[in-house]
Chains A and B, each alone.
Chain A
Amino acid sequence: MAGIMTPVSQHHSIQLSRPGNPPLRIPLFSHAIEAGFPSPADDYIEGRLSLDEHLVQHREATFFVRARGNSMVGAGIFDGDLLVVDKSLNPASGDIVIAVVDGDLTVKRLVVAHGQVMLKAENPRFRDIEFKDGQELQVWGVVTCAIKRFARG
């Protein structure tokens, strides 16, 4: 579809012209615009909701990672989801954490019960990881949110 934008100052609208068709008028703004085009540099508008502010509590200690695999679907974490990880939080039983296991980063639910430390999968098809006496659990960070994008995201 070919379009030609022609500013029409009196009515603050643009005209889309298709060859052979009458021009289509679409209102652009409901009020007069200041001189100059809308600058991308002016995209910070006070008061608009920020997802970044909403999801990130501790900026300096927050990292984003990508989940690969399906061991945590029971917790709502699917392959390809973006995870927000806060390293400043002290992990507690029940938290979904990123842990270092055999030098790799993995996401599991931390469960501490009867003196036993475990990294539980949330998918019956995957094994839990138990920590025996003397073995040390290294928690990389606590997962605070999982973000999933749909086809149009």
Chain B
Amino acid sequence: MPLALVDCNNFYVSCERVFNPKLEGRPVVVLSNNDGCAIARSNEAKALGIAMGEPWFRMEKIARQHGIIALSSNYALYADMSARVMALLAEFSPRQEIYSIDECFLDLGGIAPQSLPAFGRKMRNTIRQNTGIPVCVGIAASKTLAKLANHCAKKGLAGGEGVCDLAQLREKDRHTLFSTIPVAEVWGVGRRLAGQLMKLGIATVQDLKMANPAYIRAQFHSGLARTALELNGISCIDLETAEVPRQQIMVSRSFGSPVTALDDLAQSVAHFATRAAEKLRQDGSVASSLCVHIRTSPFIENAAQYQNSRVISLPQPTDDSRRLVSAALSGLRAIYRSGYRYRKSGVLLLGLHSRADMQRTLFDDTGQTAGSERLMRVMDAINRRMGAGSLTIAASGTRCAWAVRSARKTSACTTDWNELPTVAA
């Protein structure tokens, strides 16, 4: 059964280019939260040697010399554009697995084999026209091969027009192709594993494909053996179409500037606990315990270091923002030490269970539970209608000493009425 892996080219940069065509053909990088490092680069920026994860302060000089445009990450925009791309792709197949913000697998069973490349081109053209985002399509018999095919499509190693269907290649051409691709390119094989494989004489994709899976399992682990089977067209990894509820929920951010006061730290923790609670309710889950953590920056030399975390067990599993904020704040009070310049805090929800599965105990206060449900529903509805963060728990505060620094953010063109793109009339 053929599978497709569709992924967006330089996704964050592409999103920015849709609304600012001046960025086309220019070297562009998108910076992480707090304008820390490059998390996306256009092909032109890659050609200038900007590496993924390169810290901004290190690239500033090159950026000025070559006119590299740096933008702060605009997640509101990227999330919306991703939702559009995924919804459009979902129309091409009854089974879709959204793998990441810019990649998805699609089950193409039912499409005639000879029509697959044209089908891939249709998907590519549809996404390009409807959203402006360029994508590449890899088609093959397994997920691992589909990822490889996508790589070939993107780099122009096989296929054409951004689409590569491995089945269209003759066996010997596939053999040649795989012999030229380093084994590190295979999905699931990182630099470290690639190094270990090289020591055993497995340097290319073809080498891994031809290796004995039992040998691989013995030398490494069953996951890599599965990968070797997948390279041979044997699909071992199925599409995950069911939405698996998260096992834990973490909300954490680095601060734009250091925070010393307990009040300000408490505001950040309350905010993160509220955000985590929203995600919890979205998943239809409740949490049994919560962990709050705070830390100073490990990157500043000679600065006093402190980091600590505290797990608070909740008397009753809950999804109520108020209870979670209260638990997070009590944890914070226990670990806070004055005199430190805190750079990051976070809240982690643990022991998640599906709300529906929760059994009532004798000690549950059903009256309170019903009231809590109602209040949370209203809060979520208002935030959906008026914009995220319209209604929060008072402890989150209004003055944001810890807010993320993003000096170069473009506007939220698709999610904020006040930030729409303007067109010259």
Contacts and interface: CB of A to CB of B under 8 A. Distances in A.
A70 B382 contact: no
B423 A83 contact: yes
B425 A107 contact: yes
Contact of B21 (A61, A87, A103): A103
Given A39-B378, A41-B377, A72-B425, A105 B21 contact: yes
Nearest to A42: B381
A103 B425 contact: no
A4 interface: no
A123 to B, nearest CB: 9
B130 A103 contact: no
A63 B414 contact: yes
Interface in A95-125: 98, 100, 103-107
B424 interface: yes
Interface string B397-425: 00000000000000001100100111111
Given A41-B377, A63-B414, A103-B21, A68 B423 contact: yes
B305 to A, nearest CB: 46
Kindly state the interface size class of chain B when it binds its partner.
20 to 34
Nearest to B26: A103
Interface in B342-387: 374, 377-378, 380-382, 385
A60 B84 contact: yes
B369 to A, nearest CB: 16
Given A41-B377, A41-B378, A105 B421 contact: yes
State the main secondary structure of chain B at its contact with A.
helix
Kindly state the interface size class of chain A when it binds its partner.
20 to 34
A131 interface: no
Contacts of B88: 60-61
A128 to B, nearest CB: 14
B262 interface: no
A93 interface: no
Interface string A59-87: 11101111111111000010100110001
A54 B385 CA distance: 19
B389 interface: no
Interface of A: 36, 39-41, 43, 58-61, 63-72, 77, 79, 82-83, 87-88, 98, 100, 103-107, 138, 140
14 contacts: A36-B374, A39-B381, A41-B381, A59-B87, A60-B87, A61-B84, A63-B413, A64-B414, A65-B421, A67-B425, A71-B425, A103-B20, A105-B21, A140-B132
